[in-house]
Each structure stands twice: as C-alpha cells, then as structure tokens.
A and B are shown apart, each in its own frame.
Chain A
Amino acid sequence: MKNKNQIPATILLVLGAVLTAGGIFLLVNRFSPMWSFSHKYMTDNAIFVMLGILGLFLGVVGLLLSRSLFKEGREIQEGEGLKQHMGMKASARISNTVIYVLLVLISIVWLVPFFCIVVQSFRVNPTGMTRYLFNNPDAALKEGLTIRFGLDNYRRLFQETKFPRWYLNTFIIAVVVAVVQTIIVLCMSYTLSRFRFKLRKPLMQFMLILGMFPGMLTMIILYQVLKDIGLAGANAMPGLILVYVASSGMGYYVSKGFFDTIPKSLDEAARIDGATRAQVLYKIILPLAKPIVIYTVLTAFMGPWGDFVFAKYVTGVTPEAWNVAVGLQQWLSTSTNISENYTMFCAGGVIVAIPVVILFMCLQKYYVEGVTGGAVKG
C-alpha cells in the first residue's frame, strides 16, 4: 500500500459509488411506473424514495471526500512524509470522516422537508398529506386517480385565491420593516459605540433586561392599543409595521460589537477631514461593516416575512389584511381544508421561500471579512 490515506479514501469511493448508483436507481424507478418491476409488493414507495435521496447524498459527499483524500494523500507522499505527521493526518482523517458523515445526516434531516414540499407542490391532483411523494399505484388505485405533476397548484394559487394579496401585504411589510429597522439598528449601534453620554450604560443594561421578556407578553395589550387607534383588522398593515419596527433599537448588540472593532481614529480622521457624524457613518463605518449591514437587513426582512402569531392576532378575521403565513395556515385549519388545499399550500410555501432564497444568494458574497486591513498600524 502506497499510502495509509488511501484506505479510507478507497472505502469512501466505493461506498459513494454504490450509494449513488442505488439512489439513482431507486429514484428513477419510483418516478417512472413503467420501470417498476416489483410494485405489487411495495405498499409504500416513499421509503424507497427516501433511501434513494439518502443514497444520493451520501454517495456524492463520499465521492467528493474521497477525491480530496486522494489529493491530500498524494501531497503528503510528495512532501516530507514524516511518520508522525502522517500519523496525525490519519487520525485527523478519521475524525473528518465522522464529521462529514454527521454533517451529511444533518443536512438530510434539514433538506428532506424542503424536498417534499417542492415535490408536493407540483402534484396536480389535490390531496391531503400523504406518506408518499411520487407515484404510488396502490394509493392511486384506491383514490381512483393517476398522480400527475404540473403547475396546476401555482395557477390556482394566483387565479383562485387571495394569495397574491397576502403576498403583497407581506412583501410591503417586510421591505418597509427591513429598511426602517436597518436604519434604526445601525444608527443605534453607531451611537452606542461612538458617543459617550449620560445614562449610556444604564440604557444598554435596561434594554438588555427588557429584551429578556418574550415579545408575546405584550401581544394582548398591543392588540388593544392597535385596535383603539384603528390599526387592527383591515388596517393591520401599518399597525404590523409599527409593531415590528418599534423595538428594533434593541437589536443593536451584534452591530455595536462590530462597530467597536473599527478603530475610532478613523472616525476622528474623517471628522477632521470635514465629515459630519452622519457622513462618518455612511462613508466610513458602513462600508467597513458591510457583513453586519447585510446581516441586519436579512434579519430585519426575515422577521416580518415569516411572522405568524402577531399577524394572526392583529389582522383577525379580515382575509384582505392577512400575510402569507396566516393565509397559508388558514388553508390547513380544518381536515377538509387539508384534503383540498394541501398541495396548494406546498406551492405557496415554495413561492414564499423564493425571495428569501434570492436575498441570501445575492447577499452571501458580502459575508466576507478582512476589509479593515491596513487601516491603522498592524
């Protein structure tokens, strides 16, 4: 054996290949009834579908891992090849393998529901929640249906329901809250990081303690207040924006911590160069704190985008004022609803996920550090 590292790598390679092949076979088999040779004996194909997905995942990760192991093994061989060094590498390899396997399992647990929702959303015939994702001939026979895939649910979503309205409501609320809350949080953080004023410390402690109370505690009184000023029910949108934005100043911790790491002499230099405090913030601090600005925008957007409890409470029984979470939940509120709307619910879920996914994809590249290099001596 040329190299110890090739043992786990080879095992992984073989395992990966077998699992991938098995996974592909199972998936293709379940997708296409024509290929199915044993469905008489299968009562629940979902298990096989799951196994197939699992196999695919494990297989692909195994292949990737074995590739990198082979590469590293070669590097070590070509390098100085110290015995001790190699020993350490081998044990590191084993723990790495364990970690990767664990990560793969966790990612499967994470991803399976998404996968199911996406598949269900394309199902044409309305059903309740099923234990199978693709064609299950037995179940189909029982229901007297052939399971077909198409965009039917999406069409229904936009043509026959109030979903577009809910979507618009949620979008407006989330965008307004994202903008306003980001501005408030960043200004708050800058103030607490750079200014020294009386009661600064007590204020921070007060907000810390206040933040420990769950927001739900105030729900009933908030509803009462909103109702009294006419911002509940049909007018819930400004009311909800108000509620979401109101406490945003308290979320200053993360960005204040980041601002604290930016040297104060940069502020001072800019102020001497003729900048006002506001110009210092948006010309010097914010470009340097890009990752934290992105983080703030994302969290500010995500909060109202997925909120259910407050929205449900404040909007009440006015469907025009609902947001997506409340609206979608309504489709599943009774068992009749479930059997009629479940696949449409899944389609709605997919549509709701789209802006968030786009937002993350656009902004994730700014999650990089190291922009402060060279500012001051170091």
Chain B
Amino acid sequence: MASVKLTNVKKVYDNNVVAVHDFNLDIKDKEFVVFVGPSGCGKSTTLRMVAGLEDISGGTVEIDGEVVNDLQPKDRNIAMVFQNYALYPHMSVYDNIAFSLRLQKMPEDVIYSKVTNAAEILGITDYLMRKPRALSGGQRQRVAIGRAMVRDSKVFLMDEPLSNLDAKLRNQMRAEIILLRQKLNTTFIYVTHDQTEAMTLGDRIVIMKDGYIQQVGTPAEVFEKPTNLFVAEFIGAPKMNIVKTDLVKEGNRYFVTPCGSRIEVTGEKGELLNEKCVPSGSILLGVRPEHMKLAFAPGENTMSARLEVNEMMGSELHLHVFTEDGTRWIVRVPTIDLTQEQRASLKNGAQVYITFEGKVMHFFDPETEKNLIY
C-alpha cells in the first residue's frame, strides 16, 4: 500500500533509442492504474523501471515518498506478475508461491498458512504439489498471481498478465483480477495493449505512444474526452470514425458538413466550440460507431451510403459502409433495434442512410491532431 510517483522518468537504451520520454505520473495509494498503448510504446519499459528491472536513465521513481532509483528490485517491496508467468520449473506450485517467503526467512507454519490461503483464493489448492509444467495456462497464471499475492507488497505490478490466455479465459481472469484487487486493496500498476482490459480494470488509464504519455484519465474521461486523435482511435471498439470535413461557424452556431450533409453541433460541444472561439475551417471529425444512426430511407441530414461488410456480432451488427465521397464509416447497430426484414435487407451492396446527432461529435485539428475543445 503505497503511492508511486514518477517524475521526468526517461529511458534511453545503449543504442541511443529513447523508449520513454519525460514520464510524469502520480499514482495514489490503492489506485489501479493501467498503462495501455500499442506495442513498442514504452509501457512495459516504464513498468520495469518501477520494478527495478531496467535502469532509469533520467528522472526519479518514488515509492511511498522514497526515491528508489538505485534500489535493487528485492529492496523495493513490490510484486510482479509476468506475461509468460515465469514460474520456477523445478519447484512445485507450493514452493513457487513460498519462494519469496522463504527468502524472507519466515517460519514454515506462517508460510504454510499464507500459501494455502492464497491458493484457496485463487482456486489452485488441488495443484499445490504439482510442477508448473503439469498445469494449464490459466492455472499457471493463477500460480504467478499467487506468488505475487503472498508478498504483501506495497505495489502490485502486472505486465500483460492475460495476453497468453485464450479469449474466454481472459474474460474470466479479468473478472478475477477485479475481485483480487478488492481483496488485496493495494496499489496496482497494470500494463496491457488491450483497451478493453484497460477500460474495465483501471481507475485511471495512461495511454502511451512512442514513449510519450498521450492522456491520463479515468476510463470515462479518455472515452468521452480524448485529448487527441490517437487516444480517440485507440479507445473504443470498433474504433472511432474519423472523417476530414469542414467546420462552419455561423454566428454562435457551428455546423459540420460531411459528405454533403449539414449537421449542427449541439449541446455541450457547441458551447465549448463557442467558448474556445474555434474558427471555421478544415477539421477531422470523429464519431463513434455506436453514435451513428442507421436509416433505410433518406431523411434530414442523412448521408447516402453503400454497405460493404456486415459483421454480425450477436447482440449487435457492425456495418462497414462507404458514403458517396468514398469515406468509410463503421456503424454499430443493436440487433434488437432492427426488424427481421431490415436485417434481411442488410446485404452487401445494399443502399442505406446514415447520420448522427449534433452532441456526439469530436473535433480534431488536422495538423496537430489535438482535440479542439478539450
């Protein structure tokens, strides 16, 4: 249980490749922070610097107010779960979990109660005497989590712990990590490339790209108020529709004009545009697929489009459509909103009409790719 503070943390490798630039983050006690980003964005490197497995090239890492830059991993009082489990193959599950406790020279009866307790929580009591090679992937990952659990460490680090599991198991383990977090009630730093994991697990999400932090915020913040194009596209699935179009200012009112339509910006977004005095001009317009509306007949502000791909996801349809100017849009429609006939008509090449409301838009500068209003 501790806060973690990273100040101007930098990582430069020997070949002068900069993996992490000026990383600043204040993680509060008992907070669950997720580092997310595409591969090679520096998220794992940052985590490993907190763990002490990588040298810190610049800046400071503080755990509980103490600068730990020059401390060995063993002196930082952290626990870590690795993507590839990293179980000790020559030891039984019990010995694996007990390893850190034995190094602390804890009495065997205390070790016994701690290990069995952790095994019970994780449901691996039956496997305690087995060797890691006799376990399945999910079981191995539980052992790895158990090994980290028994340490009562200040900070719990997880480096893509679910990436090696199959999709179903991953969902299950994700739920278990949420439960585990409630039980352990400690500070978590979790690294993943999967935005779903980030959104569901994190109190706060740190979105990274090329060694730079793009945005730090709660899942709702990064979803609703992405600071730039990268965050907007990275968070949310399917990803946000981005269209190059014009923003037109008429008095206090703003309009966008994608593909011949003219849709007024309403609600909070319109007010913010006014507040920031955004001038007319070319912008990148972002609309999330779930905010798109599908129509089967032309109406007010609809854009005519041709259906190219219809992905049936069960509870919803992902429709990939192309408007007349060649722009590709993804429309997410709940299956339940459509009649049987409408669903049958959604064949490839079908003519559909799409539109969206004025309050759901995101506006990005085409050059800086920054959000114009947040």
Query: Footprint of B on A, CB under 8 Å?
Result: 196, 263, 265-266, 268-276, 279, 283-284, 287-288, 371-377
A-B contacts, 29 listed (Cβ < 8 Å): A196-B14, A263-B84, A265-B84, A265-B86, A268-B53, A268-B82, A269-B80, A269-B86, A269-B87, A269-B147, A271-B52, A271-B53, A272-B52, A272-B53, A273-B103, A274-B74, A275-B99, A287-B90, A372-B89, A373-B89, A374-B131, A374-B132, A374-B134, A374-B140, A375-B87, A375-B88, A377-B84, A377-B137, A377-B164
Instruction: Collect the chain A residues with CB atoms within 8 Å of residue B52's CB.
Output: 271-272
Instruction: Collect the chain B residues with CB atoms within 8 Å of residue A266's CB.
Output: 86, 88
Query: Footprint of A on B, CB under 8 Å?
Result: 14, 51-53, 72-74, 78-80, 82-90, 99-100, 103-104, 131-135, 137, 140, 147, 151, 164
**Cross-chain contact A374 with B87 (CB below 8 angstroms):** yes
A59 to B140 CA separation, bound complex (whole angstroms): 52
Known contacts A272-B51, A273-B151; A373/B86 CB under 8 A: no
A276 to B135 CA separation, bound complex (whole angstroms): 28
A276 to B104 CA separation, bound complex (whole angstroms): 12
Instruction: Collect the chain B residues with CB atoms within 8 Å of residue A376's CB.
Output: 82, 84-87
Instruction: Collect the chain A residues with CB atoms within 8 Å of residue B137's CB.
Output: 377
Instruction: Collect the chain A residues with CB atoms within 8 Å of residue B133's CB.
Output: 373-375
Contact of A284 among B79, B82, B88 (CB under 8 A): B88
Contact of B72 among A265, A271, A373, A375 (CB under 8 A): A271
Known contacts A273-B100, A374-B131; A268/B140 CB under 8 A: no
Closest 7 CB pairs of A and B: A374-B133, A273-B100, A376-B84, A374-B132, A373-B133, A265-B86, A269-B86
**Cross-chain contact A274 with B103 (CB below 8 angstroms):** yes
Known contacts A272-B73, A279-B103; A371/B90 CB under 8 A: yes
Known contacts A273-B103, A372-B89, A373-B89; A268/B135 CB under 8 A: no
Known contacts A268-B53, A268-B82; A273/B89 CB under 8 A: no
**Cross-chain contact A265 with B90 (CB below 8 angstroms):** no
The residue on A at minimum CB distance from B132 is: A374
Instruction: Collect the chain B residues with CB atoms within 8 Å of residue A283's CB.
Output: 99
**Cross-chain contact A274 with B104 (CB below 8 angstroms):** yes
With A269-B82, A269-B88, A273-B74 known, 6 other A-B pairs at CB within 8 A are A268-B82, A269-B147, A272-B80, A273-B99, A374-B133, A375-B132
The residue on B at minimum CB distance from A265 is: B86
**Cross-chain contact B74 with A271 (CB below 8 angstroms):** yes
A270 to B134 CA separation, bound complex (whole angstroms): 21
The residue on A at minimum CB distance from B97 is: A273
**Cross-chain contact A268 with B86 (CB below 8 angstroms):** yes
Instruction: Collect the chain B residues with CB atoms within 8 Å of residue A284's CB.
Output: 88
A284 to B102 CA separation, bound complex (whole angstroms): 14
**Cross-chain contact A273 with B90 (CB below 8 angstroms):** no
**B264 CB, min distance to chain A CBs, angstroms:** 53
**B314 CB, min distance to chain A CBs, angstroms:** 30
Known contacts A374-B132, A375-B132; A288/B86 CB under 8 A: no
**Cross-chain contact A275 with B74 (CB below 8 angstroms):** yes
**Cross-chain contact B88 with A270 (CB below 8 angstroms):** yes
Instruction: Collect the chain B residues with CB atoms within 8 Å of residue A275's CB.
Output: 74, 99, 103
A297 to B360 CA separation, bound complex (whole angstroms): 72
**Cross-chain contact A272 with B79 (CB below 8 angstroms):** yes
The residue on B at minimum CB distance from A287 is: B90
**Cross-chain contact A377 with B103 (CB below 8 angstroms):** no
Instruction: Collect the chain A residues with CB atoms within 8 Å of residue B84's CB.
Output: 263, 265, 376-377
